[in-house]
Amino acid sequence: MKGDYQDLVDEISALLATPATLENRDFGLIAFGAHDSDDDSAMDPVRTRSILTRKSTPAVRAWFEGFGITRATGPVRIPAAPEAGVYRDRICLPVRHHGVALGYVWLLDADPGPSAAQLAAAMEVADRIGFLLADEERAGADLSRELRAVLAADRGWQYDMAVAELGTGLGPDATGLHALVCVTPWAAGDAPSVRSLPGASALCTVALPVAGRATRGTGSAQGRERPEGERDDPAGGDEGAVTRSDAVAALVRLRAADNLAPALAVASRLAGAAGEATAGDAGPSGTGRPPVGVGMSTALRGLGGLDGAWREAAASARAARADAGLGPVARWADLGPYRLLTALPAGAARDPVVRQLLTTPHAELARTAEVFLDCAGQAGRTAAALGIHRQTLYYRLSRVEQLTGLDLDDGEHRLLLHMALKSARL
């Protein structure tokens, strides 16, 4: 996006002395003006729903479109219609570019309402919004290819060229702050349009390795597209194979490094779409873990470090599927031991000491050992977390030692068991 929609919406709100709301042509929320009035009626149900759910109901949309807003070139006054859920009169400022409707600015109408001069000034701002929306649409239409090329390339001249092409498409925004979001698995087809995800600069589908050992560098394996005819290894036990899971990557603009709200909003929308496509899936191997993993990188300025940011986002998504406690959106900074474990080649951390412990008959023992180690070896905390008696805990821990051959009084043995249990989740 070449500009800041929020600033333009705030400008309209100031011109007309009433909070404005900007939606795209599909009635998806893009930005809204602050409501600082003592008049609670300014927050009517339609505006509240648009802000909270980022969309309008079909009935509201049908009522508004019935007044010709898709063809209008100037302000349109729309009366209330309680039967459609519209309880206040409205003014619609159509946002157009070269005759094409790209969105709408909404205002609550009043008596006498804004003057013709005020509305004319507001329409000039709406025209500037139209230019930005058109510019974003042109850039976003082609940037999935450029983003995918960056994520797939090894460091070197090919990576540098891919970054340069993506930067050309983004224009001045290329030097700004961004975060990468990864959602996996992605069974919803092609990545959605950036127009449906305010704040997103580019989206693309990629393939992530989830089992076996990669034959190329970590960065290229995570970003490589699935070759024609490649199939997943259903067993996941062939150390020479690379099993893949489709994912979607989103490059999201940020205003500040410590404000990740835009990336969280994009991640939430993508997770919802991915969840609908995988509805009914209980998670990996029926474990009850989240069927969709959502991860987010730390903020970065410029595009040169996108390969590292993608490794962070992809690792965070893997960890989110392994440990529901990291979700709903796992951040790289919060991964703890998974920051190290996800950096290892897939399958490399499968230590034989836990092989028997991880079999189905001993699942409760494995859980007990992991909670015990998560609680820093404190028996009282562990027993309380598991809801069992201390003597039961001690008996289970002795069985863990028998099955693994480890001494849980030895710090290095504890570390090995803890990492082996965490890596098994991946």
pLDDT in tens, 306-318: 999 999 999 899 8
For the stretch 269-277, contacts whose Cβ atoms lie closer than 8 Å and that sit 24 or more positions apart, written own/partner, are 269/54, 269/196, 269/197, 270/181, 270/183, 270/192, 270/197, 270/294, 271/183, 271/328, 271/329, 273/188, 273/192, 274/183, 274/184, 274/185, 274/186, 274/187, 274/188, 274/248, 276/188, 277/186, 277/187, 277/188
- The pLDDT value given to residue 337: 83
Structural domains of the chain, with CATH: 5-135 (3.30.450.40), 153-341 (no CATH), 352-425 (1.10.10.2840)
Report the distance separating Cα 208 and Cα 189, nearest Å.
15
Once rounded to an integer, what is the mean pLDDT over residues 59-84?
89
The residues pairing with 32 across neighbouring beta strands, listed in sequence order, are: 21
Token pair for 266: 């994009």
Q: Write out the two tokens for 225.
A: 């597209």
Q: Which residue has the higher pLDDT, 262 or 85?
A: 262
> Each residue of 346-388: pLDDT tens digit?
666 577 888 888 888 888 998 898 888 888 888 889 889 889 9
**What are the angstrom distances between the C-alpha of 136 and each of 65, 175, 194?**
24, 16, 8
The predicted-structure confidence for 174-195, as pLDDT tens digits, reads as follows 889 999 999 988 876 667 776 6
Tokens 């470090």 -> residue: 305
Give the Cα separation of 15 and 121 in Å (integer): 8
The three-state secondary structure class of 312 is helix
Q: Strands of 216-340 (E only): list them.
A: 242-254, 293-296, 300-301, 330-331
The number of angstroms, rounded, from the C-alpha of 398 to the middle of its chain's C-alpha atoms is 43
Question: What are the phi and psi torsion angles at 403 (to 5°)?
Answer: -75, -30
pLDDT of residue 224: 37
60-71 average pLDDT score: 90
For 22, the token pair is 């900007």
Q: Describe the chain by its helix, strand, coil percentages, rounded to 5.
A: 50, 20, 35
List the single range of 114-118, 234-238, 312-316 with lowest mean pLDDT. 234-238
Average pLDDT for residues 404-421, to the nearest whole number?
Answer: 84
> Whole-angstrom Cα distance, residue 37 to residue 9?
17
